[in-house]
Amino acid sequence: MICKRRVSLLTTSMTLMSSAVVTTASAQSEATMRLLDRNRMFEEQIINVADNVYTAIGYTVSANSMIVGTDGVVIVDPGQLPAASLRVRQEFERITDKPVRAIIYTHSHPDHTNGAVAFFDEGEEIQVWQRDNFGSETRRQAEAGLSGGARASNTQGFDLPDEQRISVGIAIPPPRPPRGGVNSAGLSTDLIESATRPGTVPPTHIFNEDRVSLEIAGIRLDLVAAPGETDDQLYVWLPEQRVLFAGDNFYQSWPNVYPLRGTARRSARDWIASLASMMAEDPLVLVGGHTTPITEDTMTVLTNYHDALKWVHDRTIEGAANYLTPDELVEYAALPDHLADLDYLQDYYGSVWGTVRDIYAQDLGWFDGNPLNLHRENPVQQARRMADLVGGVDELMARAHAEMESGDELGAAQLAWHVTKLQPESADAFQLLGEALAVVAERTFNAPARNYTFSSSNRYLQTAAELRN
Ligand SMILES: [Zn+2]
């Protein structure tokens, strides 16, 4: 039986939503309305997904679950921020006062682990489980000197005003980290701090097998290695209730095969194989790493998710073998009709276009097969060629304004971009570029791309203001 108990503390999301409605009412695009509508999924609620299994949604950006056993409970993904996770614990304690016996991390992203301290009582015997390659994604980036930084901040929209920051795709935007300034490498210190995960409790148990079967507090469960959104991903399988906790290998959105913040390789092929393993378990309930659990037609949802990712992968490879370029493959690999309209496959968080480009780049590298891309001109040379074509840089700027007035904001942004290369002192060019990108962002449905575009727009508008002074 599914019982949804709605909790009245909806303040953060509702305030955010209503302020966005008021301030951008005149320019509200279909993309904006769809994203605001989807935010309703993240109202705070504790969902009883199966006998003795509860999932908290909307308290932290991730889904946090409790499995109740005979003499204790197991927590799957304790959440992002200790204070919010403590509220989840308080809700769980209204259901049972049995002590926490184990915490399981489905993977190493801090939005799933950093709240662990809220469930961990010093002195108690609490098992903390993770895979042996835990943290492999962030470790690789840290070694390269590329942790955190502007790209990560921009896709989350940390610097955006509330009316622009309406979604991160699979959650209500989390609180902004305190502005801690930047370190000598130019990285935001708050991002660095969140990357060190001060609320994450170190593991007591690490497994390197494909599957381990455990009994904790009278609960039979399997932990299964399942590389996908990260290489260190696992899923938790409850054979008795047939509940599968997928971590981030499933959420109600197109899978984030390539995050725009940039990351170490994520393998679509591994992800497809892990989805096939999950299907083989034949679950009745699928608890994703974000978004509400799937409790009906679960195998249909899981099968469609698998088939859709496999379709895009296979079409990309097939087209690439026939010399299609990534720009062409984005259309060639588009989903067939019976998958394209499913809500849980929309580009809320990951994107089909980003997935196609990433699969291509991973297998074939940066060269798209177009011979002209072996002979690239630098941005100033490209801009000069464009200006010469239309009769000079003033005419190029006039065309940019004309595009803006005709409603082709993307065209306006492209032309204004060229002008900024030729006249980096032109406040007018940066102003138009910023204004055009704001409209493009407003129409962008994929939340990370939208946040990134708004962040860029604001930066260009700021440059324009500085140039004017
Ligand atoms: Zn996640």
Of residues 138 and 114, the one with the higher pLDDT is: 114
**How many Å lie between the centroid of ligand 1 and the Cα of residue 216?**
25
Mean pLDDT of the chain: 90
Predicted confidence at residue 48, as pLDDT, reads 98
Domain count, the chain: 2
Nearest Cα neighbor of 241 from 298, 303, 290, 291 is 298
Q: Using one digit for the tens of pLDDT, what is the confidence trace for 151-177?
A: 888 898 988 999 999 999 999 987 776
62, pLDDT greater than 70 = yes
Predicted confidence at residue 2, as pLDDT, reads 40
Partnered with residue 138 across adjacent β-strands are none
Q: Mean of the pLDDT values across residues 321-343?
A: 97
364 and 382 part of one domain: no
**How many Å lie between the centroid of ligand 1 and the Cα of residue 211?**
22
Q: For strand 73-76 and strand 100-104, is the pairing parallel, antiparallel, or unpaired?
A: parallel
Query: In this structure, which amino acid lies at residue 389?
Result: L
**How many Å lie between the centroid of ligand 1 and the Cα of residue 230?**
10
206, pLDDT greater than 80 = yes
251 and 231 part of one domain: yes
**How many Å lie between the centroid of ligand 1 and the Cα of residue 416?**
37
5 and 148 part of one domain: yes
Q: Mean of the pLDDT values across residues 123-135?
A: 95
Q: In what order do the strands lie in the sheet with 205-207?
A: 3-6, 45-50, 53-57, 64-68, 73-76, 100-104, 127-131, 205-207
Find the distance separating the first CA and the last CA of the chain, reported in whole Å.
64
Predicted confidence at residue 12, as pLDDT, reads 34
Residue 396 near residue 418, CB atoms below 8 Å: yes
**How many Å lie between the centroid of ligand 1 and the Cα of residue 244?**
16
Token pair recorded at residue 399: 């065309």
Q: Which of 132-146, 319-333, 359-373, 428-442 is the least confident region? A: 132-146
Where in the sequence is the domain holding 437, given as residue range(s)?
Answer: 377-468
Residue 275: CATH number of its domain: 3.60.15.30
Q: Mean of the pLDDT values across residues 185-212?
A: 72
Predicted confidence at residue 174, as pLDDT, reads 79
Predicted confidence at residue 197, as pLDDT, reads 59
**How many Å lie between the centroid of ligand 1 and the Cα of residue 62?**
6
114 and 198 part of one domain: yes
Q: Using one digit for the tens of pLDDT, what is the confidence trace for 236-286?
A: 999 999 999 999 999 999 999 999 988 878 999 999 999 999 999 999 999
335, pLDDT greater than 80 = yes
**How many Å lie between the centroid of ligand 1 and the Cα of residue 407?**
37
Nearest Cα neighbor of 77 from 119, 126, 46 is 119
Predicted confidence at residue 177, as pLDDT, reads 66
Q: Mean of the pLDDT values across residues 206-233?
A: 97
Residue 425: CATH number of its domain: 1.25.40.880
13, pLDDT greater than 80 = no
What is the spatial distance between Cα 401 and Cα 266, in angstroms, rounded to a whole number? 41
317 and 219 part of one domain: yes
Predicted confidence at residue 138, as pLDDT, reads 82
271 and 389 part of one domain: no
